Structure 1
Amino acid sequence: MSKNIPNQSDVIDSIISDTNRQQYQDLLTKYNDEKESHWEFSVVPGIFKQSLEDTDETKFDTIKEHFGIIPTWDEVINQLNTLNANVDSNKIQYKLFFLARHGQGFHNVKHTENPELWDSYWSHLNTDGKIVWAPDPELTDLGIQQAKDNNAAWKTEIVNNKQANKDLIVPTRFYTSPFRRSVDTLINTWDDIVDLKQVKPYIQEDWRETIGEHTCDMRSNRSTIAEKYESKGFEIEPGFEEEDIYWKPDYRETVPEQAVRQNNGFQELFNNYPNDQIVSITSHSGSIRTQLLVLGHRPFAVGTGGMIPVFVKAVKV
């Protein structure tokens, strides 16, 4: 099996119940009622195979399928440019997102051994005496290699792109969860494709994994993150607290709550960066699950080191 195809546990974790969908809509309605305006999202059809209902996520190899693209990259980029050129960006925007999941971390190794025992026992601890998976676990050697495989895949797609300017399919804005496994995946994925000090990837709390209870989802403190990554070009969002004030040992964020948090990230992105048409977000399985819900995409499992592209239309309401 390919290293980026989701396993059965990934597929189960990607499912969102009808109850959670309704609760998300109820929470979002309350959230939007407090604001003067907000963006609503939908997926532009016919661009990527992952949005098709008959695409089997358990067999879909993103890299071998050239990211799942249906037309050519030329056609996609031309469509993106044309659509945005013919609308008022204060009211309608189109963006192409590449939603990447971090490579395998040490917590993923332990989770895969016994998913049920992980949820009930191991996820509340930091180690089994053999490996350490919390807080803020590192990538395994496989996780690093998965990111490097993505790097090679990106280079292939860029070379195959027939546009006169081959960089046209490369994102112009980069976001990441504050966890080391996400930031290190971004670094290894985009190494020598983009200049990180020039694009200044943005570390933001909104994109982090489901918050609470699981020790692997407690982040490092701000000074540690800054010391490791700011010299590489990363920027940390304003108001980012020194300690992880969101993580609690006795409460785990619900799917609807996480979806509202992801929605907040997208709202800010569309409000502040109308000219960035192609955006990369490196985060987590739970984050991507709710990002797809927010954007109106079908559920689609993404394995460690995997990625799903989404062509999005946003309308301001």
Structure 2
Amino acid sequence: MATNPSSLDVLDSHISSGEAEEYISKLKQFEATLATYWKFEVVPAIFQQSLAETDESKFNYLDNHFGILQSWDSIVEKLNKLNASGGPDESYKLVFLARHGQGFHNLAHSKYGNKAWNEHWSKLNGDGEIVWGPDPNLTELGISQAKENAAVWKQELVNNLILPTKWFVSPLSRSIDTLINTWKDIVDLQKVNPLIQEKLRETTGIHTCDKRSPRRVIAEKYESKGLIIEPGFEEEDTYYKDDYRETVAEHSLRINKNLQQIFSEYPQDSILSFTSHSGSIRAQLLALGHRSFAVGTGGMIPVFVKATRHHNKL
């Protein structure tokens, strides 16, 4: 049921040289304001997805043990050894970047095609048959994709993959419901308390599907299930604008700020789970120094990250 990336997914995952250069420029300006900051890079030869020769349109992580090039025993041992010997200004983490399962907006995007979707339909809440805004739900396929990931996680745990110790999720319902359906039978969500983070959300603005629900609605739906809303989370959506769409560079800088926070606040947690969106994963891969790689609805990509802390003289 999990789908390989569609042609739309591949198109949306790519980052132009101009977008990358704009991000680097914005990142340098941001870093110059900080006393300390993390620089991210990918540890090579761990996952197939980081290799230039891996075809993102054909690769299926479900059939390839998430894409490992070594055994999980070797990968976890390497992670532990690097963290033990790295010193205070080095941090290594294994991050699993999950995309939500198919939502009703994905269904509509496929129905109308990229041009009509971006120019017209994405600005509406529905077409009389499908409702996709604001904050659309998962389709039945989307729920099934999340459950399929749960089955694969269970199998890989048998193969000695280690569970994450922290879970982070976008505040949009499709991502939260994907997290719940993936993890509820593997861990006790009431104990691990996944953290709902504003900065993890999809590229925002203009597309009604990317406007989140009010805080009170999110709290009513999900706090009883063990999820926690981060401090400072506004009641209404202050990110979304009807007349402006966030750029790739702006989104990637937002994601970088989120990674800075996580690497600073969770130094002892070396395996992390993020559940978000295709645009968020595009931005995460750019921020982490990974090649662009399309992820289909309900898909997942793991990244072995090295972070080095730099110090400014302000």
2:50 equivalent in structure 1: 51
8 Å CA contact 1:174, 1:200 repeated in 2:
yes
Q: Is the 8 A contact 1:220 1:244 kept in 2?
A: yes
Tell me the equivalent position of 2:136. Answer: 137
Aligned match of 1:236 in 229, 249, 252? 229
* Residue equivalent to 1:199: 192
Counterparts of 1:273-292 in structure 2, within 5 Å, are: 273-292=266-285
Match in the other structure for 2:114: 115
Whole-Å separation in 1 of the counterparts to 2:292 and 2:86: 29
After superposition, residues 132-171 of structure 1 pair within 5 angstroms as 132-161=131-160, 169-171=162-164
Q: Deviation digits for residues 62-93 of structure 1, max 9, x if unmatched?
A: 111110001000000000000001122x3100
Matched residue type, 2:143: I
> 1:251-308 CA distances to partner (integer Å, 9 max, x unpaired)?
0000000000000000000000000000000000000001000000000000000000
Deviation, 1:160, is 2.2
1:293 to 270, 286, 289: 286
Q: Secondary structure at the match of 2:250?
A: helix
Residue 12 of structure 2 corresponds to residue 13 of structure 1? yes
- Paired positions, count: 309
Is the contact between residue 51 and residue 297 of structure 1 (CA under 8 Å) also seen in structure 2? yes
Unaligned runs of 5+ in 1: 162-167
**Pairing of 1:1-317 with structure 2 (within 5 A):** 3-88=2-87, 90-113=88-111, 114-161=113-160, 169-317=162-310
Cα distance between partner residues in 1 of 2:239 and 2:277: 17
Q: For residue 67 of structure 2, what is the amino acid of its counterpart?
A: G
The TM-score with structure 2 as length reference comes to 0.97
Paired residue secondary structure (1:63): helix
Q: Distance in 2 between matches of 1:172 and 1:239?
A: 23
The SS at the match of 1:134 is coil
Give the CA deviation at 1:3.
2.6
Q: Distance in 1 between matches of 2:38 and 2:158?
A: 35
> Which residue identity is paired with 2:18?
T
**Contact 2:2–2:148 under 8 Å retained in 1:** no
Q: CA deviation at 1:116?
A: 1.1
Counterpart amino acid of residue 105 in structure 1: G
Given residue 41 of structure 1, which amino acid in structure 2 is its aligned partner?
F
**Structure 2 letter corresponding to 1:281:** F
Q: Percent identity?
A: 59
Partner of 1:165: none
Structure 1 runs, 4 residues or longer, greater than 3 Å off: none
3-state SS of 1:95 partner: strand
Structure 2 stretches of 5 or more lacking a match? none
Q: Residue 231 of structure 1 aligns to a residue in which SS?
A: helix
- Tell me the TM-score normalized by structure 1: 0.96
